[in-house]
Amino acid sequence: MRKRSVRDLDVAGKRVLVREDFNVPMQDGQIADETRITAALPTIRYLLNQGAAVILISHLGRPRGRIDPGMSLRPVAERLAELLGCPVSLAPPGAGEDVEAMARQLRPGDVLLLENVRFQPEEEANDEDFARSLARLGDLYVNDAFGSAHRAHASTEGIAHFLPSATGLLMERELTALSGALQDPRRPLAALIGGAKISSKIGVLENLLSVADEFLIGGGMANTFLLARGMEVGASLIELEAVHVAREFLEQARRQSAPVYLPVDVIVAERVAVDAETKVVPASAVAEGWRIVDIGPETVRRFGDVLRRAGTVIWNGPMGVFEIPAFSEGTRALARILAESPADVIVGGGDSVAAVEQAGLADDMAHISTGGGASLEFLEGRELPGVAALDDMEGAA
């Protein structure tokens, strides 16, 4: 059922609580990447233009219920003020009387940012009283933090039970893109799945079996699939306990006539290090002591052929040890191919998103997900607490 959107709310003259994801990387007290801040601007500007006062809620880092000045949202408040062109006040920690007083004084066009909500232990415990205290600050609640929607916390799930609620524009865009790819994709739908371990992605693979037409598997998890097909993988990362899982998936895909493409050649190294010697070998000829660190050029070519004829591509996870530049070319090469593809490309997962953004190709993809864990759980078919708690469209007043 479609969730109510912020555009369905009458926000004029109201105080609107907005859960955003300002969990930005910090370096020496400075914001190292403001992507998550700029992603939130459309919803905030929409509310201000509609005559609302906006109260922003977010976490930053993992303070584990303690006040940590190094994880203050003050740098975010200062940057938001610059981007919005208006003052952004920062509230003290918590949601007590002093914060309530600040909220009551807000007028249309004002912006207040609550201090790091995870400074309070009640946040991650989804404490009902804390959720009520947050709800008392405003008249309406908007969840725009897709990246935190898989967490049942007070500011992402609990608060929605005490106020009329809706999705923000970013949340709405995420749900529309991911739901569309799963429910009504342009065919064929190709699932390009990478990452280190099968155990972290098997839920995605199994859920996509019902909708995907073909699968392309790379990254460390492909090693276990190669092992399941009887190939030696040297000293590569594998999950011995998941070999039977890989075999079962391959058999399920065969019964459903969904081709599964694995690497046919790979980049190997004697050790996972920047200065390691590397070479290209067939996937079936990995020598003892060598480690698979990336897909090879022939695999890039074959994967590229499949991706170019796809109508929709869901991509989650890198093809190699992406953190080391010498082992990231397979991931980057597929990013370039997808950027030129006419397919609807949905990209999720930190490293695959990073590859696209670092290459300057984000604008060439249909959708870049802002939620790593949330997008993964969505693709697994799991209910996201921060979404489920929001009002359904049919229930709109």
Give the C-alpha distances (Å, rounded to integers) separating 268 from 196, 273, 302: 15, 11, 19
The overall longest dimension of the chain from CA atoms, in Å, is 70
Say if CB 143 and CB 134 are below 8 A apart: no
315 phi and psi angles, rounded to 5 deg: -120, 125
Residues 14, 19, 36, 79: which is the catalytic one?
Answer: 36
The number of helices, as runs of H, and strands, as runs of E, in the chain is 14, 17
Catalytic-residue membership of 158: no
* SS3 category, 2: coil
Residues 109, 180, 311, 373: which is the catalytic one?
Answer: 373
CB atoms inside a 10 Å sphere around CB 261: 18
Alpha-carbon Rg for the chain, nearest whole angstrom, is 23
Residues 7, 74, 186, 197: which is the catalytic one?
Answer: 197
Residues 6+ apart with CB under 8 A from 265: 280, 281, 282, 283, 295, 296, 297, 298, 299
Angstrom distance (rounded) from CA 175 to CA 367: 11
Angstrom distance (rounded) from CA 88 to CA 94: 17
Closest to 326 measured CA to CA, from 288, 282, 277: 277
Say if CB 361 and CB 335 are below 8 A apart: yes
Catalytic-residue membership of 36: yes
Catalytic-residue membership of 350: yes
Residues 109, 350, 372, 381: which is the catalytic one?
Answer: 350
Strand partners, 267: 280, 294
* SS3 category, 191: strand
DSSP state of 82: H
Say if CB 327 and CB 274 are below 8 A apart: no
Angstrom distance (rounded) from CA 361 to CA 326: 20
CB atoms inside a 10 Å sphere around CB 82: 9
Residues 6+ apart with CB under 8 A from 27: none
Say if CB 16 and CB 53 are below 8 A apart: yes
Place of tokens 């429910």: 183
Residues annotated as catalytic (active site), given as ranges = 36, 197, 350, 373
